[in-house]
Amino acid sequence: MIAVSFDHRGVILRDAVFAAIAAEEHQALDLGVATDAVRVDYPDKALELGMAIRRGEADRGVLVCGSGVGASIAASKIPGIRAAICHDAYSAHQGVEHDDMNVLCLGSEIVGGELAQELVRTFLRARFIGGGRYADRLEKVAELERMADG
């Protein structure tokens, strides 16, 4: 299950993101929005998506705002969420393989529909390598989260 959410600017990529998820034979948990008629702030959508992942309702997520920057900043504040903005295929797979990224953030004003689909497909196909230095680094990230709580 892939949680998917957009703010009012990110909704431009809605059809492209859902098409890519369906093409990879994943199910999507649609957390909205479906229109740009009303302003919806990216921190609200980041929280909703991040909590869906934390509750186990989804394994990963795709979060889209205008630039992707705000979405990635907000989502990464949620413990256990490793979100990153990716506008190239290398980052979309390497972020999962090396860093166990679980939320792909996109900027609707930066990438078009075709590139968005490529990035979502690449993100969904990637798997965390695990072990060795990758696991050690992930533990350091978890320690940062614990330090921030204390």
pLDDT tens digits for 6-16? 999 999 999 99
Active-site residue among 65, 86, 93, 105? 65
What tens digit of pLDDT does each residue of 52-103 get? 999 999 999 999 999 999 999 999 999 999 999 999 999 999 999 999 999 9
One-letter amino acid at 69 equals V
Sort strands 60-65 and 28-30 into parallel, antiparallel or unpaired: unpaired
| DSSP designation for 97 | H
Return the CATH number of the domain spanning residue range 2-149.
Answer: 3.40.1400.10
User: Could you tell me where the DSSP H helices lie in 27-68?
Assistant: 42-54
- Which of 121, 54, 35, 51 lies closest to 6, judged by CA? 35
Q: How confident is the model at residue 3 (pLDDT cuts 50, 70, 90)?
A: very high
The continuous run of DSSP H or E covering 74 comes out as helix 69-75
Catalytic residue flag (residue 98): yes
- Which of 136, 133, 119, 129 lies closest to 16, judged by CA? 119
Domain ranges of the chain: 2-149
pTM value?
0.96
Place of tokens 């703010």: 7
